[in-house]
């Protein structure tokens, strides 16, 4: 634990305005919108733009992309007025640098799927071209949203020099244990707060954010 510090909360997979409003009222820091057609939580840019336009100040909009063409990412980021772009595929460090020149006002997050074989050498090339990592659970045939946690002890060996958000199966039952073990810059929850893909459970959303704030205050 690195001492008292506010932990940022991101909730991903937003598809409905009512869910976004609930999260914002509960004190969320960022909301994720998945622009990946194969995801069960995918959202079209016009629908995301309409929700983002209703967000209150200081709630960031994060667009999630998986191995998407650079120009399309830039177009969606601009039209939806995203604050962050989260790259959740096999995008290279060079891809990140090129994207940064296309959307200079938008910060970049790079997802890393953490498993037994993940090494510091795999993540090191990104450290000069992104603002933060998002650590998710490795599964061979999935790029995210697995609902599974990973062994948090593996994080230390990645030797990260940038802040990171902890993701992968976080919910109201395990968030306190996760924070006690890791104390990340932020946390990212998705499937653990849902009644169905893309449909957030408002009670779970409130309880999740409250649990993070209670941990900070303890």
- Between CA 68 and CA 61 the distance in angstroms is 18
Q: Residue 75: count other Cβ atoms within 10 Å of its Cβ.
A: 14
Catalytic status, residue 12: yes
Round to whole Å and give the CA distance between 129 and 72.
19
| 136 in active site | yes
Instruction: Give the Cα separation of 60 and 83 in Å (integer).
Output: 6
Nearest-angstrom CA–CA distance, 55 and 104: 22
Phi then psi dihedrals of residue 51, to 5 deg: -70, -45
- Annotated active-site residue in 29, 83, 136, 188: 136
By C-alpha distance, which of 103, 73, 88 is closest to 145? 88
Distances (CA, A) of 114 to 75, 119, 151, 174: 30, 9, 8, 18
CB distance 204 to 193 below 8 Å: yes
Catalytic residue among 12, 22, 96, 106: 12
Inter-CA distances, 118 with 69, 109, 138, 189, 193, Å? 25, 18, 9, 22, 27
Task: Kindly list the catalytic residues.
Answer: 12, 136
């Amino acid at each position: 634990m690195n001492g008292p510090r506010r932990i940022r909360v991101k909730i991903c997979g937003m598809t409905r305005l009512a869910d976004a409003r609930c999260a914002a009222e509960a004190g969320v820091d960022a909301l994720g919108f998945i622009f990946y057609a194969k995801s069960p939580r995918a959202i079209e840019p016009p629908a995301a733009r309409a929700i983002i336009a209703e967000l209150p100040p200081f709630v960031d909009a994060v667009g999630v992309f998986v191995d998407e063409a650079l120009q399309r990412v830039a177009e969606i980021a601009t039209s939806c007025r995203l604050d962050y772009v989260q790259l959740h595929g096999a995008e290279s460090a060079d891809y990140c640098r090129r994207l940064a020149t296309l959307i200079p006002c938008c910060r970049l997050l790079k997802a890393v799927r953490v498993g037994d074989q993940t090494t510091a050498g795999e993540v090191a090339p990104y450290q000069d071209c992104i603002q933060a990592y998002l650590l998710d659970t490795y599964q061979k045939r999935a790029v995210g949203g697995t609902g599974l946690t990973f062994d948090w002890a593996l994080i230390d060996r990645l030797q990260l020099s940038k802040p990171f958000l902890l993701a992968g199966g976080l919910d109201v039952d395990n968030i306190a244990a996760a924070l006690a073990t890791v104390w990340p810059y932020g946390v990212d929850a998705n499937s653990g707060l849902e009644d169905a893909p893309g449909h957030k459970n408002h009670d779970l959303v409130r309880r999740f954010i409250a649990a993070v704030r209670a941990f900070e205050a303890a």
